[in-house]
Amino acid sequence: MAGISSPETANVTINKDNNNSGAVGEEVAAEGLSFSAVTLRKLPHLTDYLPKSDLQARPNPLERNEFFHPTEGFYILSSDVILRQIVYDLSGTFPSTFPRLAYHRAGPRRDIYFDPANVRVAIVTCGGLCPGMNTVIREL
């Protein structure tokens, strides 16, 4: 586990209007606000199991899809993370005792490592609804 950040000033704004009316107030920079270090939890990657020399990166086939054109920022970068705890008390009144953890984001990457013509997949569900399943099947 490697720390990906150290305490530093965050780019956060705070609403000056504290009456909680839901109205949008003037926003000002939160000076002196800092977060404690965030620990990145390493998740298994294909390169942990196969030598890089055996893997050939190739462009994602979505780049050639006639019906879907990825927009800027569509692909996930290796530096994109999701915070485990997404709610922070900016006042510091209730400091969290939980470790600040982050995980790599899942999602489409610009490069893939398997030839789509040679890949076989199986989709297993355990009952219940699976929103988006038709989209997943179509894209496979």
Report pLDDT digits (tens) over 93-127.
887 777 889 999 988 999 998 888 898 888 777 77
Query: pLDDT digit string (tens) for 43-99?
Result: 888 888 998 888 889 999 988 888 888 899 999 998 899 998 888 777 778 877 778
Q: Is there a domain that residue 100 lies in?
A: yes
Domain limits at 84? 43-139
Q: What angle do CA 68, 136, 54 make, to 5 degrees?
A: 90
Q: How many CB atoms lie within 10 A of CB 38?
A: 18
Q: Tell me which of 18 and 80 has the higher pLDDT.
A: 80
Rounded Cα gap, residues 35 and 10, in angstroms: 7
User: Which pTM was predicted?
Assistant: 0.58
Q: Is there a domain that residue 33 lies in?
A: no
Structure tokens at 86: 């997404």
Q: Is there a domain that residue 88 lies in?
A: yes
Q: How many CB atoms lie within 10 A of CB 100?
A: 16
**CA dist 3 to 44, 52, 101, 110, Å?**
17, 25, 9, 25
How high is the pLDDT of residue 135? 76
Q: Is there a domain that residue 15 lies in?
A: no
Q: Is there a domain that residue 69 lies in?
A: yes
Q: How many domains does the chain have?
A: 1
Q: What angle do CA 74, 76, 82 make, to 5 degrees?
A: 120
Q: Is there a domain that residue 62 lies in?
A: yes
Q: Is there a domain that residue 38 lies in?
A: no
Q: Is there a domain that residue 29 lies in?
A: no
